[in-house]
Amino acid sequence: FLSFQWEKHPYYNLTVKVLRARNIKGTDLLSKADCYVELKLPTASPVVSRTQVVDNSDNPEWNETFHYRIHSAVKNILELTLYDKDVLVSDELTSIVFDVGGMKPGQPLRRTFRLNPEADEELDVEFYLEECSHAPTEVLTNGVLVVRPCLSLQGNVNKEEKAKEKQQGSCEVKVSVPGAYQKQLCIPWRPDNEKDYGTSFVFHMDKEMCPELQVELEQTISVLQDGMNPDIEKHTTILGLGTVPVNSLPVGQKVDRIVSLGEGRSLDMSLKTEESTWDLDIRLGFDLCKEERDFLDKRKKIVSEALRKTLQLKESPPKDQVPVIAVLGSGGGMRALTSFYGSLAGLQQLGLLDAAMYLCGISGSTWCLSTLYQDPDWSQKDLQDAIRRAQGTVSSSKAGAFSPERLKYYFRELNAMEISGRNVSFTDLWGLIVEYFLQQKEDPSKLSDQQEAVKWAQNPYPIYAAVNVRPNISGGDFA
């Protein structure tokens, strides 16, 4: 099996010049397109670049140049997207990708991309790749994944020494680092309130991206509308903007920095950066982990004996002849849960459940697995008891899932996920609802709790699967 290794790779400077487009058909029937091009190269910059808008033209010309510093250890894919600007939402006309890895340093490349062959729409772009003066850096790689050190930025807003004039309305400080794992954080800001000081923030980022801490001071004023209308209208104003290059901060040392926001405004902040060690939280390899290999070694003895009994063999098969048998459960909500329970019970009656090395489920089948593996010895017990408990849960009333207390619990949990930096979606809410359907209460158990269920290889090894989806592609097409 291929394991990880240390490698040194150089940097390159990439220049992209968006020249012109031809025969572009916009989305407005009464006028020509108002075109601009967006450029995304996430391996080099978290910022999305874009050209100026060329109004009312089917042959727009830009001649705009963009610069990137790329690392040759990673696969650099540039995405170019052509838009027709609209007042509310710009319309995406087409999108193309270009693999920078096919370029040779020092040789200019001009490409004409066919956007729509039927309409003869084209986009002209020039590329130039040259060696960078920056020293090559070391990365850890297994030939597919690349690991670079992570930089963390910790900070907080300090108390102002001088009393400021009283602010109207409410103010908040918004801090963010484009490209960081964490989202933008909003900190209430009232200079005369002690509680607003000391709120800390942390961002984790790739230091090779030349990240910047962006600081924004925003003011919101609530105004009663005219007449008898009791509604309140809110006006938001940006009082100031400032940035701090993260690479300008000394690593491992806490510093106080006055961040200028413009127009005589500033914020006093304490900042500290720390670089992560090469102690990885994930295993960078292709082979099974040691714990799973130990499990298989123990499980083969159980599988061998189960096969001997079921097939009425004279002796148990040796370890090197024991087959790896996996049982897969389909998706389908409660129907899949019910079906998987029945299938496992059938295997148990035939004496074949102990012959399974792995159990794999998706969607409703994973609901069955997660419930069973809360009992470390579930496969050694009669599954009819577990089925009766599941039957009682499935057939019970679901009204409690939408009680006021339960809705408050959902909001609290989703809010905690959001604060921790997760991209919360409807899937997270659905997971909390399913939790009630299966347990009728809050379930604090974690996946790591199930280690006891495979510690002695007494049960098959569980595999929880999910369908990876994209917003613009159906699950079936993507699979």
Domain ranges in the chain are 5-139, 150-275, 290-396+440-478
Give pLDDT tens digits along the chain (479 positions).
Answer: 456 788 999 999 999 999 999 999 988 877 899 999 999 999 999 999 999 999 999 999 999 999 999 999 999 999 999 999 987 788 899 999 999 999 999 999 999 999 987 888 999 999 999 999 999 988 888 888 888 888 999 999 887 655 455 566 688 899 999 999 888 998 888 766 665 566 789 999 998 888 999 999 998 887 665 555 555 677 888 889 999 999 999 999 999 999 999 888 889 999 999 998 777 878 887 889 899 999 999 999 999 999 999 999 999 999 999 999 999 999 988 999 999 999 999 999 999 999 999 999 998 999 999 999 999 999 999 999 999 999 998 888 888 999 999 999 999 999 998 888 788 888 899 989 988 988 888 888 899 999 999 999 999 999 999 887 777 777 667 65
Q: So what's the pLDDT on residue 145?
A: 87
Q: Is pTM beyond 0.85 here?
A: no
CATH number for region 150-275: 2.60.40.150
3-state secondary structure of 469: coil
Q: How many whole angstroms separate alpha carbon 424 and alpha carbon 410?
A: 12
Q: Which helix (H) or strand (E) holds 139?
A: strand 137-141
Q: In this structure, how many other beta carbons lie within 10 angstroms of the beta carbon of residue 406?
A: 18
Residues in contact with 431: Cβ distance below 8 Å, sequence separation at least 6, in sequence order = none
Tokens of 15: 């220049």
**Dihedral through CA 187, CA 190, CA 195, CA 201, nearest 10?**
20
Q: So what's the pLDDT on residue 1?
A: 45
Q: Give yes or no for a contact between 181 and 281, defined as CB atoms under 8 angstroms apart.
A: no
Provide the CA 474 distance to its chain's centre, in angstroms.
Answer: 19
Residues in contact with 211: Cβ distance below 8 Å, sequence separation at least 6, in sequence order = 46, 151, 153, 177, 178, 179, 180, 205, 245, 246, 247
Q: How many whole angstroms separate alpha carbon 68 and alpha carbon 73?
A: 15
Helix ranges restricted to H, 373-467:
383-394, 404-419, 426-439
Tell me the CATH architecture of domain 5-139. Sandwich (2.60)
Q: So what's the pLDDT on residue 262?
A: 87
| Residue 264: Cβ-neighbour burial (10 angstroms; 0-12, 13-18, 19+) | exposed
Q: So what's the pLDDT on residue 441?
A: 85
Q: How many whole angstroms separate alpha carbon 65 and alpha carbon 416?
A: 43
Which of 11, 17, 13, 12 lies closest to 80 in space, CA to CA?
Answer: 17
Intrachain domains 5-139 and 150-275 with the same fold:
yes
Sign of CA pseudo-dihedral 329, 296, 447, 344: positive
